[in-house]
A and B are shown apart, each in its own frame.
Chain A
Amino acid sequence: QKEVEQNSGPLSVPEGAIASLNCTYSDRGSQSFFWYRQYSGKSPELIMFIYSNGDKEDGRFTAQLNKASQYVSLLIRDSQPSDSATYLCAVNAWGSDGGSNYKLTFGKGTLLTVNP
């Protein structure tokens, strides 16, 4: 059973601080990793993805991947109240035939609250 684990939170940070969101996954064969943001009552919005070990930066967001530790994280710099949302970690699951059918396995999400 492929699993993606996230701390449910809530994670509360002051405005301007760095928010750190973490995710672990069980399937060592996973290839691609995604961070989505979901506001209450809305559908998920893709923030960024990563598939190579190391860091990937996009504006205020940095995704970090460590395949050896099966760990992926998202850092949000200069956090703003508008960043308050649930952050979903998703992992590309491979099909039983060894090929990718691009199904994503989602974690349950971490609720982030940025306090003004």
Chain B
Amino acid sequence: GAVVSQHPSRVICKSGTSVKIECRSLDFQATTMFWYRQFPKQSLMLMATSNEGSKATYEQGVEKDKFLINHASLTLSTLTVTSAHPEDSSFYICSARDHRVGLAGEQYFGPGTRLTVT
């Protein structure tokens, strides 16, 4: 149990275009999902907390108008990188908290999406 998927796994886009990344909890409902970004040889950086049916909560320094998050259902959250630029190239990873057993707050991660902006 506690499987999280992400799509696409890898995307290359041109500067100025938008890219949407999907995060799905496959065998559980996740009222809370999280979006992280990881640059090479660096640790995970939390970008935002996504709550089903409400607006996402963004971490300090993360542009909410650039990184649009939608959590319309209990199993799906999406991250849209708008007007992407080369500096947005990174490894984007989502995670979800399984409320059935997540009493300690553990999060299960999707496989990640590697974004390259040319």
Contact = CB atoms under 8 A, between A and B. Distances in A.
Interface stretch (B61-69, B82-90, B101-109): B101-109
Nearest to B51: A101
B104 A51 contact: yes
Nearest to A6: B43
B109 A102 contact: no
A29 to B, nearest CB: 13
Interface of A: 31-32, 34, 36, 42-46, 49, 51, 88, 92, 100-104, 106-109
Interface of B: 32, 34, 42-44, 46, 49, 57, 93, 97, 102, 104-112
28 contacts: A31-B105, A32-B104, A32-B105, A32-B106, A34-B106, A36-B109, A42-B111, A42-B112, A43-B93, A43-B109, A43-B110, A43-B112, A45-B109, A46-B106, A46-B107, A46-B109, A49-B106, A51-B104, A88-B43, A88-B44, A92-B104, A101-B32, A102-B97, A102-B105, A104-B46, A104-B107, A106-B43, A108-B43
